[in-house]
Chain A
Amino acid sequence: MPSWSDFQPFLVTGLSLGGVYALSGVGMVVLFRATGVLNLAFGAVGAMGALIAWQLINKSGTNEWLAFLVCIVFAGVITLAYGMVFGPALAGREPLVKAVATLGLTLVLLGIMDLLWTSSGGASRSIQLPTDSNTFMIGSVQVSLTNVIALVFGLVLTLITGAFLRYTKLGTAMRAMANDREITATLGVPVRRVEATAWFGCGILSGVAGLLLADLVALDATTLTFLVISALAATLIARLRSITVTFFAAVVIGVVNAMITPIQSLTNYRDMTPFVLAVAALLLLSRKREIAVGRQGI
């Protein structure tokens, strides 16, 4: 059994990954509550943004910060465009259909990424955020500013989103739409505009998550696309409702996933963590026997 000091560096990794999963999860939950769409293309959009940033920095010699900005804006715009075209077309359908439709966008983006940035031939890419070189020690563990940013950003975003939904007019409109889109529309809320904001916000977050994960994990289209699974597990544990639960679940998933690494017998299976935790949570939750019948809810 490895000693505590073996675990310490992985605690740092886990917390920062958990922070990114949290901000992804919060983005997905807010979009889901506002529009009824579970954006499964979240990871793919972020991956494409990160690859574009890589292209700009390494091939065109663009300024790093500009490239990062392009990544985030691209992610926001592509998500918004999808929402504007397919949101209304599928507005009346079940959440399941809306979620599956975003898989269409995922496939399109995956195909484009594999075409433009082939992974064969051993071409490995990476993005280094400038904050990586800012390191300091906590005890005996080296921590980079990127690690801190990832966790703090996740935390701050959760708090801000919570306050936004609670205290602003737009946030109230979003919560109202989560309850009933039709009634909200009759009350004079500009439904389309509120939805557009939610889509754009979710897209921006996917760009940020894509950049951070490209730095913390790897810049690879498939890896980044399916890292969304960890965030999904968190949203699932929160039953697509509470952003607070999403935050904590995401951090737990990130930490457990990373902390298993030094344990010899489990290390190869550590990426199953989101699946195992989500199934366990579902089993516990479904003991309440909430029968899934009714107009609202999923």
Chain B
Amino acid sequence: MTSAGVRTNARPAWLSQTREPRTLIRLAVIVVLLLFVLLALPSMLSLYYVDAMIQVAVYTVVALGLGILVGRVGLVSLGQAAVLAIGAWVSARLLFATSLSFPIVLLASGLVTMVLGTLVGLPALRMRGLYLALITLMLAGAITVVLSTTNFPNGGHGFLGYNGGNVHVPPIRRPSIAATDQAFFRYTVVVSILMFFLVLAHVRGRPGRAWASIRQSESAALAAGINTTLYKLWALALAAFITGVAGGLLAGGQRYLYSIDFVTQDSIILLAVVLMGGAYSMWGAIIAGLLYKFLPALLNNWGVSSDWLTILFGIGVLQALTTAPAGIVDQFPKDMARLGRRLRGLVKRRPPARGEAG
């Protein structure tokens, strides 16, 4: 440990370029991983798991949005699944009512969701974070109430576009280039990557720096001349936008949406998996997506009740908050390193022990 530290300190400035290969390797790993996910993965999986992976990609984007709020700005939203439902509703409505191309519908539902999501957060933003959490929890409850009355559009007429339950219901439209499940999975992953880039651009830029200072100390940020309300609102808007886009992807992926599938506790579980995955890192969002949608698919396939997962997520929240605030993404490599050290220690110790025994 110390020797490494000394070496870093002693390294001349021109040598700091040696860091670059590391970034290159990381980039190469990401590219290979993406190519694998895009090209090989869909044909390796059964339709059941392709469907699950579409949802993983969708919820990765949702988790990314919640991760910005929780990890970057320090705002907790307990209504993010409700925001997703808004996005899904808007895009389903647009897909039935218009013949607009799919990307435009995604963009439109992102924008509508952004406006609605920001409006909800507005009254709570002047106050401390606890109020935002409570307001959004109530929003989650309220949206469940509204959805159970209005239902999701299924090709009917009027503003709500709901046709009653028992008539022939057409599926929600998909883009023509992504009609099959496998193709739609690829489509979803590509859109998700775009959302990651959008978030990355924000985090690396001016808003990211403002968020970081708000997170550290709101008073200090205020004193430094940062418009804290504006940047908090900005974070809410960005999270709502990408969640709205994810809602569009969910609508296209599921093809049939039922209000009974959107329950209040989803929003809480979503926060749980984001905290477990790691709210400070973008990789954490991917872990959160896998925890939230891949694990249930796996357990369901094995015939294990998903209620066990709810319990696990509950324990996960408590564990994350008490001992691993940066989530699995931070904890796992540390644990592995510790395990590696221990194993190495065992290996080193073993030969003399054997010698003694022999």
Contacting residues, chain B, for A276 (C-beta < 8 A): 142
How many residues from A make CB contacts under 8 Å with B? 53
CB distance from B61 to the nearest CB of A (A): 22
Contact, CB under 8 Å: B321 / A298: no
Contacting residues, chain B, for A282 (C-beta < 8 A): 123-124, 127, 131, 135
Name the interface residues of B296-338: CB closer than 8 Å to any CB of A: 305, 307-318, 321-322
Interface string of A258-298 (1 = CB under 8 A from B): 00000000001101101110110011001001111110011
Contacting residues, chain B, for A283 (C-beta < 8 A): 123
CB distance from A100 to the nearest CB of B (A): 6
CA distance A115 to B142 in the complex (A): 26
**B35 sits at the interface (CB 8 A):** no
Contact, CB under 8 Å: B141 / A229: yes
**B222 sits at the interface (CB 8 A):** yes
Contacting residues, chain B, for A86 (C-beta < 8 A): 318, 322
Partner of B127, one of A107, A271, A278, A298: A298
Look across to chain A and name the residue whose beta carbon is closest to the beta carbon of B315. A108
Look across to chain B and name the residue whose beta carbon is closest to the beta carbon of A276. B142
Contacting residues, chain A, for B313 (C-beta < 8 A): 107, 111
CB distance from B13 to the nearest CB of A (A): 40
Partner of A103, one of B74, B129, B272: B272
**A96 sits at the interface (CB 8 A):** yes
Contact, CB under 8 Å: A104 / B314: yes
Of the candidates A93, A104, A274, A286, the one having the most CB atoms from chain B within 10 angstroms of its own CB is A104
**A97 sits at the interface (CB 8 A):** yes
Contact, CB under 8 Å: B308 / A115: yes
Contact, CB under 8 Å: A272 / B129: no
Contact, CB under 8 Å: A286 / B123: yes
Contact, CB under 8 Å: A115 / B134: no
Look across to chain B and name the residue whose beta carbon is closest to the beta carbon of A294. B219
CA distance A108 to B73 in the complex (A): 27
Of the candidates A38, A89, A108, A289, the one having the most CB atoms from chain B within 10 angstroms of its own CB is A108
Also in contact, A111 and B310, with CB within 8 A (given A232-B138, A236-B131)? yes
Contact, CB under 8 Å: A232 / B149: no
Name the interface residues of A145-171: CB closer than 8 Å to any CB of B: none
**B275 sits at the interface (CB 8 A):** yes
Interface string of B130-172 (1 = CB under 8 A from A): 1101110111011001101100000000000000000000000
Give the contact stretch, choosing among B86-94, B240-248, B262-270: B262-270
**A132 sits at the interface (CB 8 A):** no
CA distance A222 to B120 in the complex (A): 24
Contact, CB under 8 Å: A232 / B317: no
**B128 sits at the interface (CB 8 A):** yes
Partner of A99, one of B130, B139, B310: B130
Contact, CB under 8 Å: A108 / B311: yes
Partner of A104, one of B126, B130, B265, B321: B321
Of the candidates A95, A111, A114, A272, the one having the most CB atoms from chain B within 10 angstroms of its own CB is A111
Contact, CB under 8 Å: A275 / B305: no
Partner of B123, one of A103, A226, A279: A279
Contact, CB under 8 Å: B124 / A103: no
Contact, CB under 8 Å: B265 / A110: yes
CA distance A232 to B76 in the complex (A): 16
Residues of B within 8 A of A (CB): 74, 76, 78, 120, 123-124, 126-131, 133-135, 137-139, 141-142, 145-146, 148-149, 218-219, 222, 263-265, 268-269, 271-272, 275, 305, 307-318, 321-322
Question: Can you identify 15 A-B contacts, CB atoms within 8 angstroms?
Answer: A38-B130, A95-B130, A96-B74, A96-B133, A104-B272, A104-B315, A104-B318, A110-B265, A111-B307, A111-B309, A275-B139, A282-B131, A290-B127, A298-B127, A298-B131
Additional A-B contact list (9), CB under 8 Å, known A96-B128, A292-B126: A96-B74, A100-B321, A104-B321, A107-B269, A225-B265, A269-B149, A272-B146, A274-B138, A276-B142
Residues of A within 8 A of B (CB): 38, 40, 86, 89-90, 93-97, 99-101, 103-112, 114-115, 222, 225-226, 229, 232-233, 236, 240, 268-269, 271-272, 274-276, 278-279, 282-283, 286, 289-294, 297-298
